[in-house]
Amino acid sequence: MSAVGARTLGSARGGAKVARRGRLPLRPIGVYALLVLASVLVAFPLLLALSYSFMSEAQITSYPPPILPAGLRLDNYDRVFNTIPIGRYLLNSFVVSGLVVAGQLVTSSLAAFAFAFLAFRGRDLLFFVFLSTLMIPWEATIIPNYMTIRDLGWIDTYQALAVPFMATAFGTFLLRQSFLQIPLQLRDAAVIDGASSFQFFSQVILPLSRPALSTVAVYGFLSTWNQYFWPLLVTNQTLMRTTQVGIVQLRFEETLRWGFVMAGVIMVAAPTLALLVLGQRQLVRGLTAGAVKG
């Protein structure tokens, strides 16, 4: 959504490396106290969900509202496993997110290569066409897209969930920026070797661009994983639901059983929280370059 902003941030950060990193000087003990307080407040909803997931219905409806569970009661998790195909939901989300990431890596790296290394007429115009897709919100085209999927008979299929998102202007833009950092001498050397453009692309450029590719991957994974509106529209069968749709369905299906719903919430949130801890650097880089969530 924000390719232009991304460039801005890139240049700002690049320039900053020259100077020593600056910080607003604050008193350490006060800072610690504030940090602890802020962290507790921010993490509180998640911790509360975790706590509720161990509670019985009786405890949840007791007054005053409890904060800590009476014990490590796993009944709610048990019920989630036994009443909804949560494993299947997770699998679906993984498959769809994986397909989107794979598709985006292929389409965006190919396009970025053309924009970064090939000279051809109409390059600027085509680049503008790519960027213009960033100005069209998905929701503005969701009705015809839904009709397309319906008419193709793709309702309840992985391709309905994945294919519309397999091209990414944002990823193309990011990769193009990264490709442009690659020294031109490499290209000249490749030409002397007699490498065709595709060999140059696949054997030289791609291996050199792993960090940027992983940024596109993490970002694509996260935004696909968290989608709700589109999967809600194009899936009807229980077994094709993604985690996000499944979990909200739980809210309507089990509305008076909050412990149960929270157990599901924790199970759905766990993979992305793990991704945050493991892939934080890529994630941060991808998101600073402009992220879309929702």
User: Segment 170-209, which members bind another protein (CB under 8 A)?
Assistant: 172, 197
Q: Of 57 and 75, which CB lies nearer to another protein in the complex structure?
A: 57
Residue closer to another protein, measured from CB, 212 or 247: 247
How far is residue 257's CA from residue 261's CA, in Å, rounded to a whole number?
7
What is the C-alpha to C-alpha distance for residues 168 and 250, in angstroms, rounded to an integer?
32
Least separation in angstroms between residue 136's CB and another protein is 6
> What is the rounded CA–CA span in Å between residue 48 and residue 95?
30
- From CA 116, how far away is CA 180, in angstroms rounded? 6
- Min separation Cβ 184 and another protein, Å: 17
Residues 27-66 that bind another protein (CB under 8 A): 28, 31-32, 34-35, 38-39, 42-43, 45-46, 48-49, 52, 57, 60-61, 63-65
Rounded CA separation 167/163 (Å)? 8
From the list 21-29, 74-82, 94-102, 184-192, the region that binds another protein by CB under 8 A is 21-29
Regarding 225 and contact with another protein (CB under 8 A), the answer is yes
Rg of the chain taking only CA atoms, in angstroms: 23
Map the footprint of another protein across residues 259-278, applying CB under 8 A. Answer: 261-262, 265, 268-269, 272-273, 275-277
Q: Which residues neighbour 276 within 8 Å (Cβ) at sequence distance 6 or greater?
A: 283
d(CA 222, CA 244): 12
Give the range of 94-102, 179-187, 203-211, 281-289 binding another protein by CB under 8 A. 281-289
On whether the CB atoms of residues 172 and 112 are closer than 8 A, the answer is yes
**143 versus 180: smaller Cβ distance to another protein:** 143
Q: Which of 86, 91, 95, 88 is nearest to 266 (CA)?
A: 86
Considering the complex, what minimum distance in angstroms separates the CB of residue 267 from another protein? 10
Q: For another protein, which stretch binds (CB under 8 A), given 94-102, 116-124, 180-188, 202-210? A: 116-124
Classified as helix, coil or strand, 206 is helix
Supply the minimum distance, in Å, between the C-beta of residue 49 and another protein.
Answer: 5
- The residue within the footprint of another protein, chosen from 193, 199, 251, 281 (CB under 8 A), is 251
